């Protein structure tokens, strides 16, 4: 199938995703818990990658290389890497599949999707729509099973040439080990522990409202969630007041109901983990400013929590909490906040809120993160390279380079061509 | 499909404009493939299971089920699973 034909099938898939947005959002909310408006947004977001890569697949150009060999012509062509296994998480059960699969399919690679067992039905609905879109049989596959067993088989299988995974750093390390035997192409989007830095020049209310948005989307179950909120000491107290006010306005409930901002956590174990992180922080000296769990509307719900005076020895600082738990601390100068922000094994995303261009540039260059967003909570989308450094992963998804994760560069040397002017 | 599964499928189907979007089987080589085990999927908001995934299968049985001869999606390097090992 030619690139333009693959583009047509992918665009047909995109159209079907859009046409079935409401049903896809319903399935997602029932299995993942996020509020319906967020689920609709994820369908839009997920579909946008299909459209982006449909077009990108037509532009996988090779290059011509000026020859250093007499009478030879040199160049490169791009070839699909081969069958790709895609292991995806439950927090974004549709978009994390399309972000990977659309790139792989556009490149010409068949895919085997292994969705999270908590959220299989979004993946299976995608398969139904892929079939309707005319994506040939055997090109888009969805399997389910015991995660550790299935992953081990996929990693060890030599016919599978690439593995893309979104999930925890712990599992990412394991998949790297298991893939070593077959030297697979790996794309790993792993954990995050994002700092949210607020400069002394900021309006505390503007920054606090942005921080609430950056922390509590998907009930904090987001690798981009602002886990560690670092506020300049000169505006710390006012920021905390504004953050608490904004947080109090959030409604927690069943995502199928209207006017709900935060849905449940994915399961009871997630609630227990969140509770343990809060207890650990309080035991180590943090102050619980807000977050009364007696108000939780069900056993899988966790009311948003704000902790102040958090320190690097606390779990809330060191771990990706994947819960609506915000930890806030004060800092005194830029050098200190850089050191605090980089004090983590993770390096996915960082937020900076300030209007001082010198501070922006200094922080943007000094922060050890794959993505830095300045004065904006929204940073992701099809045109940008999503990915982290340090133990947040390998490779980039989306953007002009996203399709390269599924392409090999083949160099060719055409020798003995005779004397050609300019060669 | 068990009676219990059927009940839940109907419940969900009533919520969807297009009930065919609710699929419970694995999708392999263009076929909806039954697994060896039923697995309940929980609605996190209620804490109760709301549907059953029927596509769990022993890991060792996955690869033989993979496309025996998928059509090439590019013409190059989309090697049929069954033939790839011979390359």
DSSP assignment, residue A138?
A: T
* Strands B48-56, B37-43: pairing kind: antiparallel
Inter-chain touch A124–B29, beta carbons under 8 Å? no
The single residue of A31, A42, A56, A189 carrying the catalytic annotation is: A189
Q: Residue A266 pLDDT more than 80?
A: yes
**Which residues in chain B are contacts of A274 at CB distance < 8 A?**
none
Distance of residue B39 Cα from the nearest chain A Cα, in angstroms: 9
Q: How far apart are CA A191 and CA A225, in angstroms?
A: 10
Q: For A181-193, b where at least 16 C-beta lie within 10 A, e where not — what string? A: eeebbbbbbbbbb
* Chain B contact present for A7, CB below 8 A: no
pLDDT of residue B12: 73
pLDDT of residue B38: 80
Which residues are CB-neighbours of A365 under 8 A, at least 6 positions away? Answer: none
Mean pLDDT confidence for A402-412: 97
Q: Is A172 in contact with A155 (CB distance < 8 Å)?
A: no
Report the residue of chain A nearest B54, measured CA to CA.
A144
Inter-chain touch B56–A105, beta carbons under 8 Å? no
Tokens describing residue B52? 């059953």
Name the percent of chain A lying above pLDDT 90: 96
Q: 10-residue block means of pLDDT along chain B (87 residues)? A: 50 85 90 83 85 68 60 47 35
Name the percent of chain A lying above pLDDT 70: 99
Tokens describing residue A184? 């697979």
pLDDT of residue A48: 98
Closest CA to A208 of A246, A248, A250: A246
Q: For B1-24, b where at least 16 C-beta lie within 10 A, e where not — what string? A: eeeebeebbeebeeebeeeebbbb
* Chain B contact present for A26, CB below 8 A: yes
Tokens describing residue A147? 């995660």
pLDDT of residue B41: 86
Q: What is the pTM of this model?
A: 0.93
Tokens describing residue A242? 């504004």
* Chain B contact present for A17, CB below 8 A: no
Inter-chain touch A110–B43, beta carbons under 8 Å? no
Give tens-digit pLDDT for A228-264. Answer: 999 999 999 999 999 999 999 999 999 999 999 999 9
pLDDT of residue B42: 87
Q: What angle do CA A114, A372, A14 make, to 5 degrees?
A: 40
Nearest to B30 among A138, A159, A299 (CB): A138
**More reliable by pLDDT, A22 or B25:** A22
- Alpha-carbon distances, residue A292 vs A245, A397, B17, B51 (angstroms): 14, 38, 39, 32
Inter-chain touch B51–A30, beta carbons under 8 Å? yes
**Which residues in chain A are contacts of B48 at CB distance < 8 A?**
none
The single residue of A155, A223, A320, A397 carrying the catalytic annotation is: A223
Q: Which of B30, B31, B44 to mutate to test the interface with A (most CBs of A within 10 A)?
A: B44
Q: How confident is the model at residue A30 (pLDDT cuts 50, 70, 90)?
A: very high
Nearest to B84 among A139, A152, A159 (CB): A159
pLDDT of residue B37: 78
**ipTM greater than 0.90:** yes
Tell me if residue A189 is catalytic. yes
Tokens describing residue B34? 């039954």
**More reliable by pLDDT, A145 or A304:** A304
Mean pLDDT confidence for A98-118: 96
Q: How far apart are CA A420 and CA A418, in angstroms?
A: 6
pLDDT of residue B87: 26
Inter-chain touch A131–B30, beta carbons under 8 Å? yes
Report the residue of chain A nearest B68, measured CA to CA.
A138
**Which residues in chain A are contacts of B66 at CB distance < 8 A?**
112, 138, 141
Nearest to A299 among B41, B47, B51 (CB): B47
Give tens-digit pLDDT for A61-87. Answer: 999 999 999 999 999 999 999 999 999
Average pLDDT, chain A: 96
**Which residues in chain A are contacts of B35 at CB distance < 8 A?**
144-145
pLDDT of residue B60: 67
Q: Which of B73, B83, B86 to mutate to test the interface with A (most CBs of A within 10 A)?
A: B73
**Which residues in chain A are contacts of B45 at CB distance < 8 A?**
33, 253-256, 263-264, 298, 300
* Chain B contact present for A1, CB below 8 A: yes
Distance of residue B11 Cα from the nearest chain A Cα, in angstroms: 12
Judged by average pLDDT, the poorest of A2-11, A284-293, A305-314, B55-64 is B55-64
Helix (H, G, I), strand (E, B) or coil at A95: helix
pLDDT of residue B71: 47
Inter-chain touch B70–A129, beta carbons under 8 Å? no
Nearest to B70 among A105, A136, A253 (CB): A136
CB neighbour class for A378 (10 Å; exposed up to 12, middle 13-18, buried from 19): exposed
Question: Please, where are the H alpha helices in A145-227?
Answer: 147-156, 169-179, 204-216
Inter-chain touch B69–A108, beta carbons under 8 Å? no
Distance of residue A22 Cα from the nearest chain B Cα, in angstroms: 8
pLDDT of residue A164: 98
Mean pLDDT confidence for A174-203: 98
Q: Is A82 in contact with B77 (CB distance < 8 Å)?
A: yes
Question: Please, where are the H alpha helices in chain B?
Answer: 3-15, 62-65, 81-84
* Strands A407-414, A393-394: pairing kind: unpaired
Q: Residue A423 pLDDT more than 80?
A: no
């Amino acid at each position: 199938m030619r690139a333009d034909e693959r583009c047509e099938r992918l665009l047909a898939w995109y159209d079907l995703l859009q046409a079935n947005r409401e049903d896809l959002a319903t399935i997602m909310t029932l299995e993942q818990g996020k509020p319906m408006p967020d689920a609709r947004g994820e369908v839009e977001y997920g579909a946008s990658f299909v459209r982006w890569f449909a077009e990108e697949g037509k532009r996988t150009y090779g290059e011509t290389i000026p020859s250093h060999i007499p009478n030879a012509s040199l160049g490169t062509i791009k070839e699909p890497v081969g069958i790709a296994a895609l292991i995806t998480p439950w927090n974004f059960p549709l978009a994390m599949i399309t972000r990977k699969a659309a790139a792989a399919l556009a490149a010409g690679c068949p895919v085997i999707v292994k969705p999270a067992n908590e959220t299989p039905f979004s993946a299976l609905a995608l398969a139904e729509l892929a079939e309707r879109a005319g994506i040939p049989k055997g090109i888009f596959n969805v399997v389910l099973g015991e995660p550790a067993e299935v992953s081990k088989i996929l990693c060890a299988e030599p016919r599978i040439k690439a593995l893309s995974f979104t999930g925890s750093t712990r599992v990412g390390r394991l998949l790297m080990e298991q893939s070593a035997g077959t030297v697979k192409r790996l794309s790993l989007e792993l954990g995050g522990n994002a700092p949210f830095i607020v400069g002394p020049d900021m309006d505390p209310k503007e920054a606090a409202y942005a921080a609430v948005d950056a922390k509590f989307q998907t009930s904090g179950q987001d690798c981009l969630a602002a886990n560690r909120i670092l506020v300049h000491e000169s505006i710390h107290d006012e920021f905390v007041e504004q953050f608490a006010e904004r947080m109090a306005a959030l409604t927690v409930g069943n995502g199928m109901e209207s006017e709900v901002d935060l849905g449940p956590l994915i399961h009871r174990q997630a609630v227990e983990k969140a509770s343990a992180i809060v207890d650990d922080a309080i035991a180590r000296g943090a102050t619980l400013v807000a977050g009364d769990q007696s108000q939780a509307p069900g056993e899988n719900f966790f009311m948003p929590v704000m902790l102040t005076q958090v320190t690097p020895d606390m779990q809330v600082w060191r771990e990706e909490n994947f819960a609506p738990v915000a930890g806030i601390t004060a800092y005194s100068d830029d050098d200190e906040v850089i050191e605090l922000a980089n004090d983590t094994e993770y390096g996915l995303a960082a937020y900076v809120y300030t209007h001082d261009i010198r501070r922006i540039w200094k922080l943007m260059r000094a922060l050890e993160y794959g993505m830095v967003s300045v004065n904006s909570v929204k940073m992701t989308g099809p045109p940008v390279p999503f990915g982290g450094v340090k133990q947040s992963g390998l490779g980039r998804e989306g953007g002009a380079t996203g399709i390269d994760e599924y392409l090999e560069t083949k160099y060719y040397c055409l020798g003995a061509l005779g004397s050609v002017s300019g060669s | 499909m068990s009676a219990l599964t059927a009940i839940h499928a109907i419940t969900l189907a009533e919520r969807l404009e297009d009930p065919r979007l609710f699929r419970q089987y694995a999708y392999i080589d263009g076929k909806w493939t039954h697994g060896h085990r039923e697995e309940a999927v929980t609605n996190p908001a209620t804490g109760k299971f709301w549907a059953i995934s029927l596509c769990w299968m022993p890991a060792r049985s996955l690869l033989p089920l993979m496309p025996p001869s998928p059509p090439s999606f590019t013409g190059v390097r989309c090697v049929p699973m069954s033939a790839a090992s011979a390359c």
